[in-house]
Structure 1
Amino acid sequence: KQYRTKWMSRTCSKIGTRLTYTRPYSAESKGKIERFNRVIDSFISEAVIEKPNTLDRLNELFQVWLTECYQNKPHSALGEKISPETAFRSDKKAIRFIDPDTLSNAFLHCETRKVDKSGCISFMDQKYEVGLAFIGRQVEVIYDPANIEELTIEFEDHTPWKAKKLVIGERAGKRPALPEHLQVQNVDSSRLLKAAERKNQERQTEQKPAVTFRAVWKEDDSRV
């Protein structure tokens, strides 16, 4: 719900339209929509009887029904014998047309993301590079759900810019070779075992001439 509200607010702001809300079940505040829905329901009931064979024929019949049964039919809220079509054509305000690019941009999806310590954002399990200057900031991500190869980033007073998917290793050069002393060496014996064996031999050499008092007692069979 919060996402839809934000999306609609952005769309309305882009095309210069005021976003208003109505209370549930308040027919007086949304009567136009309810009346139009009844027009469509009545058309569907008649179209079922007519049984159009093609979509073009269905659209043609709907346009006829809309013109004769809604747009050119007098409406009590507009005055005596005044139809929506007549009221529309008599309006002195000039029709405001919106640039196609502006209209297309207004209906793009919008979400908020926080820029991480590497200057990137996570979006739909992908990383996008935004810029180190925006670390820790909340930015608006504008995107087309059908194509997320490139995102549009908006932030406060900055001009919107594009962010592409971050490809790990795209700008990395060839990994340098390790120094010779750090490379894996092919050996036929263990240096640790050799060292341990040498140490053991030295220990045995030191202990060999040593005698115990018990050994001396047994040799001369007398007290020392």
Structure 2
Amino acid sequence: KGKVERFNRLVDSFLSEVALEKPNTLERLNELFQVWLSECYQTKPHSALGKKTSPESAFRSDRKALRFVDPDTLANAFLHCETRKVDKSGCISFMDQKYEVGLSFIGCKVDVVYDPADLEELTIEYEGHSPWKARKLVIGERAGQRPAMPSHLQAQQADRSRLLHAAEQKHQERRKEQVPAVAFRAIWKEEGDNV
């Protein structure tokens, strides 16, 4: 906490000095801050380091060799990880996009390892399987469009009423069944008064 307070005092003193200089650009402000940081902080002896040693000389006198991190290890250190459940279609929903994981993982919870700056490809991890890549699910240009119906299945223009035609046929069949029956009205009209 004391180191942070000491550095904040250094920045405050820089701000009061740079106000007199009135730099016009951010680049000039950064240049002046680097000069101030180097001359007034890093090369100035600090009592905490002992024997009037500056932070820069303490850093340079360290005999341990600098270790450089492997670029892949460094890249993996800044990746993010979240858990998602694979849906019935073998996909996961991630950041309002669908990614295809695989049908064999339906219902499983998988770990999604990703770089927030690049969401085109995700790394999927699941216990017992080596990590694999999942890409955004791209639905084709023909998806969602219905193909044209074959002509024999399309709606045909009606030239007559099928219902009325069927009713007329039924009516004629019924009349044929009723013809043999005797109708006394017909006899009354033919014979006159003699019944």
Shared fold per TM-score greater than 0.5? yes
Q: Deviations 1:24-77 (Å, cap 9, x if unpaired)?
A: xxx4xxx43343333323322222221123333222211111112222233333
Structure 2 equivalent of residue 16 of structure 1: none
Distance 1:157 1:35 in 2: 51
Structure 2 equivalent of residue 217 of structure 1: none
More strand per residue: 2
Matching of residues 94-113 of structure 1 within 5 Å:
94-113=65-84
**Which residue identity lines up with residue 32 of structure 1 in the other structure?**
K
Secondary structure at the counterpart of residue 134 of structure 2: strand
Matching of residues 161-200 of structure 1 within 5 Å:
161-169=132-140, 182-200=153-171
Q: Deviations 1:89-112 (Å, cap 9, x if unpaired)?
A: 233333221233433343244332
**Which residue identity lines up with residue 46 of structure 1 in the other structure?**
E
Count, aligned residues: 184
- Among 104, 107, 111, the residue aligned to 1:136: 107
* TM-score after normalising by structure 2: 0.71
**Which residue identity lines up with residue 29 of structure 2 in the other structure?**
L
> How far apart are residue 120 of structure 1 and its match?
0.8
* TM-score after normalising by structure 1: 0.63
Matching of residues 1-224 of structure 1 within 5 Å:
27=1, 31-156=2-127, 158-169=129-140, 182-203=153-174, 209=181
**Which residue identity lines up with residue 94 of structure 1 in the other structure?**
A
Distance 1:150 1:162 in 2: 6
**Which residue identity lines up with residue 38 of structure 2 in the other structure?**
T
Q: Deviations 1:157-194 (Å, cap 9, x if unpaired)?
A: 6443322111234798xx88867764444432232332
Distance 2:17 2:106 in 1: 60
Q: Highest Rg: 1 or 2?
A: 2
Deviates more, 1:103-112 or 1:178-187: 178-187
**Which residue identity lines up with residue 85 of structure 2 in the other structure?**
K
> How far apart are residue 114 of structure 1 and its match?
1.6
The runs of 5 or more residues in structure 2 that have no matched partner are: 185-192
Question: Percent of aligned pairs with the same residue?
Answer: 75
Identify the structure with bigger relative contact order (alpha carbons < 8 Å, sequence gap 6+): 1
